Amino acid sequence: MGKEKYREYTLLQNQLVEAIQATSPKEKIENRLGLKWNHVAPMIRANQLTMKLGLPDRYSPDAGGVAIWYYVDPYLRRKNVYTLEEGELLKPTDVYSKLMIKDEEVPHIVPVPHNAYYYAYMYMDIPDDKVSAVRDLTESVGYDTMRKEVYARCHFAPANLVSLYLIRQIAKGHKGLIHAQQEYVILIPTLAKEEKEGYGLMSEDPGKWHQALTNYTFGLLLE
């Protein structure tokens, strides 16, 4: 990455941080979970999701903790997905198997410098000959071959949706690794800029902007 491009990405990341922290009184995020985490950005995200989804299914308020919501669709609506047989959970492929916010900030410089802490998991059956390409897409994705569950990690929801979309495209043979990586470095900075300008989940009613962005990224995922 050239110095000029790195400086541009760093400026964008700083703008994102300012957008998250400089919320108006109306948009102020309360610490409804009573989190005592070490990192501010994950605490904000965890409380934002709590405003949308209700209390996490599991969470730890202490430093180093996590907050987890099971079975949520990409429009951030809770789903009941139990079978009639012994209460076993289904494995739907059109919802997140779980969303998880960790009290951590994992540095990542692709496609822009940022700290990641927001995980989105989804069941996906990836052919054996595509697993390596999926894992090579970016350092911020992973695949459990036993559970047939993939995850994407970033700092905001649309970026995770894009990663999951590209993973599915690779798995279906619709895109090769190089093509997918090229789209990754274009789509996510664009969405990050829109997140900064639209404030995303900065308020309890994110409005038409966030719905339109979610529709777009979820639409990609279902291709």
Token code pair at residue 11: 């400026």
pLDDT higher at 218 or 139: 139
Is 193's pLDDT higher than 80? no
Worst-scoring range by mean pLDDT, 33-47, 126-140, 186-200?
186-200
> What is the DSSP secondary-structure string of the chain?
--HHHHHHHHHHHHHHHHHHH---GGGPPP-TT----S-HHHHHHHHHHHHHH-S-SEE--STT-EEEEEEE-TTS-B---B-SSTTPBP--SSSEEEEEEEEEEEEE-SSS-EEEEEEEEEE----GGGHHHHHHS-TTEEEETTTTEEEEEESSHHHHHHHHHHHHHHHTTSS-HHHHHHHHHHHHHHHHHHHHHH-TTSSS--HHHHHHHHHHHHHHHT-
Q: For the residues 149-175, what does the mean pLDDT come to?
A: 88
Express each pLDDT in 95-144 by its tens digit.
Answer: 788 999 999 999 888 777 788 999 999 988 999 999 999 999 999 999 99
- pLDDT confidence tier of residue 78, bands split at 50, 70 and 90: confident
Express each pLDDT in 6-27 by its tens digit.
Answer: 455 445 444 444 444 443 333 4
Q: For the residues 172-178, what does the mean pLDDT come to?
A: 92
